[in-house]
Structure 1
Amino acid sequence: MEPVRSSLGGGIVATIVLLAFLLVADLVLVGRSLFVFATFTSLCAIGGPPYCALGTSTATLLTYLWFAALFAVAWPLLFGGFTWGLPGESGVAHGVAFGLVLWGAYLLVAILNVGIGGETLDENLPTLTVTLLGYLVYGVVLGGVYDYLADHRTFLSEPEDQR
């Protein structure tokens, strides 16, 4: 399979697994509220206060669309384009590195919000831990499925012979 289709296939599977992980994390951490999912996919930075909670149907729809577009399309295409430059010899290792890069950006935003919003890192620690695990799960599944679907390891490697 070509890299774009492999990336998108991996992105769809990884997004479904990530969604299941976030819903389980919500059940374990806060009961029936979708706090972790809403935090993970928050539109607050883009749409402002009306989109900070999943209360309205418009906010809920936009959150799901944002989540699907970002995790099923945008991140996988970025991964497919740069997988050859990530450390590691397998798609899973590349996925872990990619997940850590994504989480690092999330961590940077969280640290900036601590300074601006007056919160502490201790208050955000459970959310940061869940998001780290979420990004790692996403990266592992994305890289693993990419490897499974691709006939090659990277753009720079030779295609493997089919048995």
Structure 2
Amino acid sequence: MEIVRSSIIGGIAATAVLTALLLVSDSLIGGTSPFVFATFMSLCAIGGPPYCEPSSLMATAMTFLSFLALFALAWPLLFGAFTWGLPGESGLTHGAVFGLVLYAGYVGTVLYGIGIGGETVAENLPLLAVMVFAYLAYGLVLGGVYDRLAAHRTFLSPNPD
């Protein structure tokens, strides 16, 4: 299967796992916004006042759609383009590394938000702890599915002969 299709199918599977983990963690952590997804991005800066109200249907829908576009399309295509450069011999290892790189970017945005928002690290610690596992699971599923479908490089890939 071609690289783009393998990446997108892997991204859809990984996004489904990530979404399930986020919904479960949102119910367990409690006190967060309607979805943990709101921690990924703020559409208020992009779309203006209609997207600033966290309880509005438009803001929730746009946040979820942008979440899907990022995690089901953009990150998987980036993964497919650079998976050969990641350390490790298997798609699972490549996916785990990729997930941890994404998590590092997430931590950077959280720390930036703490710096300008007056929150503390202690308030965000439960979410940061859950997110490392969520991003790792995302990367493992993305790398594993990609590896099975790409059929061009690692031990999980079916032999085309």
- Counterpart AA for 1:141: V
1:114-129 matches, cutoff 5 A: 114-129=114-129
Which residue of 2 is the match for residue 69 of structure 1?
69
**In structure 2, distance between residues paired with 1:24 and 1:160:** 34
Which residue of 2 is the match for residue 20 of structure 1?
20
User: Structure 1: any 5+ residue segments left out of the alignment?
Assistant: none
**In structure 1, distance between residues paired with 2:94 and 2:36:** 25
**In structure 1, distance between residues paired with 2:62 and 2:52:** 11
User: 1:54, CA displacement in angstroms?
Assistant: 4.1
Which residue of 2 is the match for residue 162 of structure 1?
160
**In structure 1, distance between residues paired with 2:67 and 2:43:** 10
What SS does the aligned partner of 2:15 have?
Answer: helix
- Counterpart AA for 1:104: A
User: 1:44, CA displacement in angstroms?
Assistant: 4.7
- Counterpart AA for 1:11: G
User: 1:150, CA displacement in angstroms?
Assistant: 1.1
Gap change, CA 1:162 and 1:12, over 3 Å in 2: same
- Counterpart AA for 1:138: Y
Gap change, CA 1:64 and 1:110, over 3 Å in 2: same
What SS does the aligned partner of 1:105 have?
Answer: helix
Per-residue CA deviations over 1:21-76 (Å, capped at 9, x if unaligned) read 11111122218963423224543554467545641111111012101110110000
Q: TM-score when scaled to structure 2?
A: 0.87
**In structure 2, distance between residues paired with 1:49 and 1:30:** 26
Q: TM-score when scaled to structure 1?
A: 0.86
Q: Contact 1:23/1:34 (CA < 8 Å) preserved in 2?
A: no
User: Structure 2: any 5+ residue segments left out of the alignment?
Assistant: none
The number of aligned residues is 159
Root mean square deviation of aligned Cα: 2.3
Is it true that 1:55 corresponds to 2:37 in the alignment? no
Q: Contact 2:23/2:35 (CA < 8 Å) preserved in 1?
A: no
Q: Contact 1:7/1:80 (CA < 8 Å) preserved in 2?
A: yes
Is it true that 1:86 corresponds to 2:111 in the alignment? no
Q: Contact 1:40/1:131 (CA < 8 Å) preserved in 2?
A: no
**In structure 2, distance between residues paired with 1:111 and 1:39:** 12
Runs of 4+ in 1 over 6 A off after TM superposition: none
